[in-house]
A and B are shown apart, each in its own frame.
Chain A
């Protein structure tokens, strides 16, 4: 009665098959942080308002703080740790070039939302960026740099496309 029923959940985390035995209601955020030791994904609000905990689930940006593990079974999950191994992702390159972060706490979420936007819309207008990014709060107020960096990442994507 008092013991939560644990369930085995298998999913693809940053390209690797991963199995955890957890409370199926436990949010992905806390499983990533406490069960799998991936602390790049941050807790900010616990109710999908601030975006600090954004990860990709099957390529979509989701708020891991409200994503129960029961929804993750068999799915592909990408976290900030899985964006690239060598800072080669255009979002990382652009963030580096424009020195976007201040405190940096919200930036994994910002970057995961941006990467998802660019995957779905490789040349976003400011209005697309506003729509995709307004759920990612930044208390340091780096929005202008985030916006510029998304445009820069879009141009890096095009360059990469041309190079390939």
Chain B
């Protein structure tokens, strides 16, 4: 035990909880860029950076119950299970006595790396692993010190197990609850000793999800299910043209309808408020309302396409990566007689969380309380305190379970609506978006356009690659400080840290301003970029007449990359010839700090693509809960099938065309082949995320397999554009 000590960017504090018991918290003293941005925009409401708050992550109650107060929202990724397990492991807690609560918004709950409170970026476990281990270890040392004092024995004779501090020589023990009050008076160590991985009892094993049962009998409370006594409901209609607004509405057209209470303007739209949601929804259909404006009324998929192509054809690129000679596309064309250049495109996509956007709020003259399925509670708090001119302590953000997040719920447009409507009617209000509102007023994953150009040697090996990327912003609304006039680092993910070893690498970027809203969506930059890169590498392998697996191996030196790729070849039987009419494709990358590779086996008949088998290997450092990890990668793989074949958002007259799951399609049960997920564990250093990585390599692996099957290379998504359809499996 205590074999490993980690450096920390945070420091621990302890205090006595009201009502007895130990509280442990942490604080970050430094300012962040984000604070400055919001301070500039909204000087009254920027969070104070001089405070060193004593917020609690850990509570040990006199009845021995250990509570983790989590800043991270549960949206299916398993944080309600894995985060308490990390804590309990170091603490030596009794797992059956560990509970989890969702925190409010406070600096102590921020992601330590980014200094901002949110759930996303595949960091909800990895971003808090070190912190919670330290919290647990430090609390354990405090409990041990308290027991040592009480018994007058050396601390070295004591250890923690199953919620007790045990005196090794005499087997005497004291329960955590008996020691918590004394322990809280002990100054926590800034550098507590951590358990050796070989001593782990909870981590690295699969635990039943803490909230599992509630999801099997209908008692799980999502935002849609949360009820405040006396609350009323709102149905909203926003300007169908992006950026437009209501020009007029006639309250009298609905005010006498059954249950209707009021009609309230909201940003970009109007809400009908009624005693029940069904009443509000029905009345909204009868509301006389007209919309106007929206700079984007001329925008269509065709006009966007032209804009992208003009950008790719034009100059004034921002060079974001230069390695070796860093030859530009033009240089490569001038210097190499053997060269290869192709363009790739990814589509606009909607999040389409199964739970549509919704939020409950109660706003009075001097307070604002919100309950909702939120990934971005700090942004919600800042925004609302600014809007209502309330001090931050008068704004309370509560979180429910999320029926999917995928980045959509980092934004707070639906939160603002609930609050505005509540203030107007003077009651608690739940706003629920129809599926149509949800899909047509999403903030979309931006489409991307790429040109990749390689200079080759005589054997077809690339010596220089220049990648040109055109993409609108991903981070503009959720993390504005990272975005400048001509750069957004999230757009570049996967291009900056490629493991292929080439003498000359260059990435040139053009941040496109488009008239449709774009934001974070599962896989962020990695998805489109790795589709392009892994398709291109596959093309180079074909041009060199080499096996795609061997070709990639020849370009990789990184040990983890090779291990994952080799494990994939092994698990997918890559070296064995596939059955008659069946072809294989693969792809590899590192994304969200996880190494991942997919192999896909499929056959194609009359443009009908039947997938027979999918094999995936990942190395995320250590899978802290292997079943949760596997489930996440299986699900990401299925998501990827939708990206590859089906999901596509298009625009016409400034509006989103697709409105529900009939025209915005995702993968279904009958299209889901057997998916094997194999985990390669490497090290606890640098844990990788697993929530978003699944689709990243699946999509190019599908395109590569289709090429292997048909000789046709498809370079734009979704494949339905080319008439390809996903067949039922089996």
Contact = CB atoms under 8 A, between A and B. Distances in A.
A4 to B, nearest CB: 4
B16 to A, nearest CB: 37
Contact of A47 (B628, B634, B662): B662
Contact of B76 (A37, A104, A108, A111): A104
Nearest to B672: A143
Contacts of B728: 130
A141 B634 contact: yes
A126 B730 contact: yes
Which one of A34, A96, A102, A142 has the highest number of Cβ atoms from chain B below 10 Å of its Cβ? A102
B507 to A, nearest CB: 31
A99 B212 contact: yes
Interface in A43-98: 43-47, 49-50, 52, 79-81, 83-84, 87, 92, 95-96
Interface string A132-159: 0111111111111111000000000000
B94 interface: no
A164 interface: no
Contacts of A133: 669-670
Contacts of A131: 670
Contacts of B212: 96, 99, 101
A44 B209 contact: no
B435 A44 contact: yes
Contact of B224 (A4, A42, A92, A104): A42
Nearest to A131: B670
B198 interface: no
Contacts of B631: 99, 102, 142, 145
A4 B666 CA distance: 37
B729 interface: yes
A42 B728 CA distance: 27
B216 A92 contact: yes
B222 interface: yes
B675 A39 contact: no
Contact of B354 (A44, A126, A143, A146): A44
Nearest to A107: B215
Contacts of A146: 669
Contacts of A23: 258, 278
Contact of A40 (B219, B403, B639, B694): B219
Contacts of B668: 134-135, 137, 143
B145 interface: no
A41 B634 contact: no
Interface string B395-413: 0000001111110000000
Interface string B623-649: 000011001101111110000000000
A33 B279 CA distance: 13
Nearest to B632: A102
Contact of B661 (A83, A105, A137): A137
Given A44-B356, A134-B668, A105 B404 contact: yes
B432 A43 contact: yes
B670 A30 contact: no
A100 B243 CA distance: 40
B660 interface: yes
A63 to B, nearest CB: 12
Contact of A87 (B216, B227, B356, B675): B216
Q: State which size class the interface on B falls in.
A: 35 or more
B637 A43 contact: no
A116 interface: no
Contacts, number: 187
A134 B669 contact: yes
Contacts of B405: 103
Contacts of B694: 141
Nearest to A44: B354
Given A80-B217, A102-B76, A139-B404, A27 B211 contact: no
Contacts of B356: 43-44
A26 interface: yes
A39 B224 contact: yes
Given A41-B218, A81-B217, A102-B631, A4 B258 contact: yes
B661 A50 contact: yes
Contacts of A84: 217
Interface string B72-101: 000111100000000000000000000000
B216 A142 contact: no
A104 B730 contact: no
A141 B218 contact: no
Interface in B399-430: 401-406
A97 to B, nearest CB: 9
Interface in B199-224: 206, 208-209, 211-222, 224
Interface in A4-26: 4, 23, 26
A23 B410 CA distance: 37
B681 interface: no
B674 interface: yes
Interface string B654-690: 0000001110001111101011000000000000000
B76 A43 contact: no
Nearest to B225: A39
A118 interface: no
Given A103-B404, A104-B215, A130-B669, A140 B635 contact: yes
Contact of B435 (A34, A45, A99): A45
B69 interface: no
Contacts of B662: 47, 49
A92 B219 CA distance: 13
16 contacts: A33-B225, A39-B227, A40-B218, A42-B403, A44-B354, A44-B661, A45-B435, A50-B435, A101-B216, A102-B76, A103-B405, A104-B76, A107-B216, A143-B667, A144-B634, A144-B672
Given A44-B356, A104-B76, 19 more contacts: A3-B258, A30-B278, A35-B276, A37-B227, A39-B225, A40-B217, A41-B218, A43-B224, A50-B435, A81-B218, A87-B213, A103-B76, A105-B355, A111-B216, A129-B669, A140-B635, A143-B672, A145-B631, A145-B634
> Which 8 pairs of residues, A with B, have the shortest CB-CB distance?
A40-B218, A141-B638, A105-B403, A102-B76, A103-B76, A104-B215, A141-B635, A130-B670
Interface of A: 2-4, 23, 26-27, 30, 33-35, 37-47, 49-50, 52, 79-81, 83-84, 87, 92, 95-96, 99, 101-108, 111, 126-127, 129-131, 133-147
